Structure 1
């Protein structure tokens, strides 16, 4: 007998099939060694990074992890920032900040945790600084179609502090304060103290206002889903968490509660050291589970640098207690408007058991047009990161349509004019007969688009053209 001829390494075994041949198994190919750069989402800052800040040089770990110390030492004024940074920031940058504070529509409040994560050797480019500390030099003119309450939350409020827009969901604004204040806050019309630019609508936490909210929710049988926000649920006392949770869970129509907070991204220490608050949230989650109702936490990380080993410890504590955490990011220029930054954020969130849920187009907010991006940026990044990780850890990119149209998938526009930057959306479950327009920042438009917006007489025509085109586009 002769030995069988060796098989080619690329050949596949075949079987007879009616005169045809077909492979019985796929060829096995060895994957190349993993590229170490694809695993950097697992590398979390774990040293005592805060000691690089002059004012925190002598602060030990126990003190830095105390949420009360974080709150007490949060920065709200330029003088306090100077005291904290000392010689870390140049004089010209401090002067720029001083003017930025004066013109900011949003009150400024930044935790020591965040200040310690900023790269003070290049603060203008730092993605955390850009979100929380304003500079005058970065200011751009607001878009001419900006409205202080761009999402028309007040117009959709049947009682103060409750927005009922979608058929089965309502937004309960329980209070008007936060552990830190984001420059890009949609609710700069209400959140925080009055500024030189904006006199705020008051949404203080009190039982009289809350009772009106509860009465309305109970009176609407179609309501099943309540988001408890503000402001920020982090700033609710533990007894408030219990009172709100128990009152809403007792309503037969309510099936889902979401406590919304940016806290884990800006002050994770609270989850590690405010035991009463975490216990209250845990109790409401467990009460909900016993009556077959979902209670979860929605949070707001925007950049992978916000996620440290402290974050991981805090998220582990919630995970051990069976608390689901989902994340909603805002797409921001110079912060996360690249595939690299957004991809790393998504992977790092997944690594600490936080589900990436939404990425929002930046709302039209007063004083921060320099942070907004084009819709095309969102379309491109969404395509790039899809398939990077599991589908349930891949966020949906959405536009919260100005004028109260609600959240629309960025790809679902009826028309997008890239010259004028106008994208047009329909929102059948809000108002099937209306068209809602989102507007790209003017400074990023081509020259022809910038020229048209420079002429106020053309503004109405620009919008009318976009809507008219959308009406005649095939569905």
Structure 2
């Protein structure tokens, strides 16, 4: 069992702006909200004397090329090692540096998973026959650089005007009506955005409405909150009570209601995490984790193994490890399919099978999640893996590209030629089709 001893000096005291903040204050989610950092000027002021002028300038330039705006909790900022920010695994997830950005892959699209094509009503993605994704809100307590839904989530940036999915009753009503009318849907993921951004009354409304639909048997509320603002679980009692009540109601009606969260690195687990996880477990709430495989964050078998085992000890079930999606401005963070397969092999066997995550690719173009090594064809020289999804979109093939950095210089040059790039994609799909 994970035990965190009370440190003699709080971990946030190394930042002069928060040196005198008490444990009670820091552990109050409302204090975290009031002191959230939303732009480079605010961050520079907080890090005065800690981060170099060069680092702040690099960050400012990075934000100009990023699809996601900045929003950070003090908790998250304090967990970053500011003596080596360039290599810190938390900094890499949330703060873009222009110096580390590389050219995007030619196959990049802003909506890389083509969610709009499977959107039956605004904010409801119905890709799988029996499951649907409900984008209940377009806001998060923090914004990740690698967000798949950068086309929608957060405020507009220098490079992207967002396709918003605001949490309005009128839009929600259309979602509920569609789910009620389609008896094939028995599993709903409530996401966005982030469910931490829903008010307690909204958690209650969504939960009760979905539970009242006879064919809905499973509901998953998705939030990164447990990883970046765990004190909300313990100090925002009305929010946690609302989630608990929905879970209890679901259990009475034979509907499974659970919480899905998002840890990527062991450094995100603190005493606050332990306290929040114990509270959720004590209330009988099932919690599962979905991590994203990121270069410089968790592309190390020891790091991933530690994350899996620590989450398991907190009764947070490691569910998925995703290959990083194609997102603007984060090409330096992606790994090849070969690397993902090797990491999966190293992690499998370290703990019980039910606590071992599936390594998956959410295939570009809307084929859904495929186990990373289940490709129909993988050409590591071209850097292309081809997947089929018979139960989702039969007869179609979906191509996931390795980062160009994993390829030979000659291949990288070929990818810069649009005609040649089309030929390479077409050739691997034809080979996959011939072998199927």
Question: TM class by shorter-chain length?
Answer: over 0.9
Given candidates 92, 95, 98, the residue that maps to 2:60 is 98
Matches within 5 A, 1:36-435: 42=2, 44=4, 46-47=6-7, 48-435=10-397
Is the CA contact 1:152–1:403 (under 8 Å) kept in the aligned structure 2? yes
Q: Which has the larger radius of gyration?
A: 1
Shift of 1:45: 7.0
Is the CA contact 1:76–1:108 (under 8 Å) kept in the aligned structure 2? yes
Shift of 1:43: 6.0
Could you list the per-position Cα deviations for residues 42-76 of structure 1 after superposition, in whole angstroms to 9, with x for gaps in the alignment? 46474211111111100001100110111111111
**Counterpart Cα distance in 2 of 1:46 and 1:133:** 29
Shift of 1:446: 2.1
Is the CA contact 1:419–1:448 (under 8 Å) kept in the aligned structure 2? no
**Counterpart Cα distance in 2 of 1:123 and 1:420:** 33
Matches within 5 A, 1:11-50: 42=2, 44=4, 46-47=6-7, 48-50=10-12
Is the CA contact 2:224–2:263 (under 8 Å) kept in the aligned structure 1? yes
5+ long unaligned stretches in structure 1: 1-40
**Counterpart Cα distance in 1 of 2:86 and 2:345:** 29
Is the CA contact 2:2–2:274 (under 8 Å) kept in the aligned structure 1? no
Alpha-carbon distance change, 46 to 125 in structure 1, aligned in 2, over 3 angstroms:
farther
Could you list the per-position Cα deviations for residues 73-114 of structure 1 after superposition, in whole angstroms to 9, with x for gaps in the alignment? 111111111111111111111111111122211111111011
Could you list the per-position Cα deviations for residues 178-213 of structure 1 after superposition, in whole angstroms to 9, with x for gaps in the alignment? 000000000000000000100001111111000000
Alpha-carbon distance change, 356 to 252 in structure 1, aligned in 2, over 3 angstroms:
same
Is the CA contact 1:363–1:400 (under 8 Å) kept in the aligned structure 2? yes
Q: How many aligned positions are there?
A: 434
**Counterpart Cα distance in 2 of 1:396 and 1:379:** 11
Shift of 1:472: 2.4
Could you list the per-position Cα deviations for residues 431-473 of structure 1 after superposition, in whole angstroms to 9, with x for gaps in the alignment? 1110000011112212332132122220111001111121222
TM-score by length of 1: 0.90
User: What is the match of residue 14 of structure 1?
Assistant: none
**Counterpart Cα distance in 1 of 2:292 and 2:325:** 9
**Counterpart Cα distance in 1 of 2:204 and 2:290:** 24
5+ long unaligned stretches in structure 2: none
**Counterpart Cα distance in 2 of 1:450 and 1:301:** 32
What is the alpha-carbon root mean square deviation over aligned residues? 1.1
**Counterpart Cα distance in 1 of 2:209 and 2:55:** 49
TM-score by length of 2: 0.98
Alpha-carbon distance change, 332 to 44 in structure 1, aligned in 2, over 3 angstroms:
farther
Residue aligned with 1:189, SS: coil
Could you list the per-position Cα deviations for residues 251-310 of structure 1 after superposition, in whole angstroms to 9, with x for gaps in the alignment? 001000000000000100100100000000000000000011100000000000000111
**Counterpart Cα distance in 1 of 2:170 and 2:33:** 28
Could you list the per-position Cα deviations for residues 218-250 of structure 1 after superposition, in whole angstroms to 9, with x for gaps in the alignment? 000010000000000010000000000000000
